[in-house]
Amino acid sequence: MCTKMTDFNNIQEIWNLQKDAKPEKNASELIAQAEKHSKTIKQNHMWTIGIISFTVLILIYYFVWTKSYQFNSLTFGLLLMIIMLVFRIILEINSGIKFKRIKPDLSLIDYSKKVKHFYEWRKKIHLILTPIIYISYFIGFTMLLPAFKANFSTGFYMYCLISGYGFFFVFGYFLIKQIRKELKLIEFLNGIK
């Protein structure tokens, strides 16, 4: 009998040592945080669209400036780069529209399902389409190099070569980092039932 009472006292003592389970945030704070997160994602989409659009304009300007109207490696490389970037812009606009349709005032379960569906779609983009776009753009840039070598000074050609490929590797690093971040978010959302 004494052993049972000691066990009970030990259990009671452990129970009393627990902290009160109070939620760190209330519902309105969670909704505000979701809205803030949504705003950040929308801004990131707009920045991405803006930067890619600016790059397309530069490539089109270069295409017109060089009067590359005959079909050669320069023309094909520029067109490949432009088409891939326009395709990426379309994907980002579509992604922004899909994300805008998700309302943060849904129940946690419904909101999580919709966000999870959105990021599952983004995962397909990142794992299938982004590598195709990235490699095609890389091929297009590589096709420009013979024309650069023939028409630019050695110093400027080397600058284009080093900065172009350097950009690809640095951008690739950040792209992989962003993809991993979104994949972790999908994993987290899978835990919400």
What integer pLDDT is reported at residue 90 of this predicted model? Answer: 93
Domain boundaries, the chain: 32-190
Token output for 41? 């994602």
Whether the Cβ atoms of residue 102 and residue 118 lie closer than 8 Å to each other:
yes
Using a cut of 0.75, tell me whether the model's pTM lies above it: no
Instruction: Report pLDDT digits (tens) over 82-97.
Output: 999 999 999 989 988 9
The CA–CA distances, whole Å, from 27 to 38, 83, 104, 113 equal 16, 45, 11, 18
Tell me if residue 126 falls in helix, strand or coil. Answer: helix
Identify the CA nearest to 80 among candidates 65, 97, 63: 63
Residue 56 identity (one-letter amino acid):
V
Q: What gap in Å lies between CA 93 and CA 106, rounded to an integer? A: 23
- What pLDDT sits at residue 151? 84
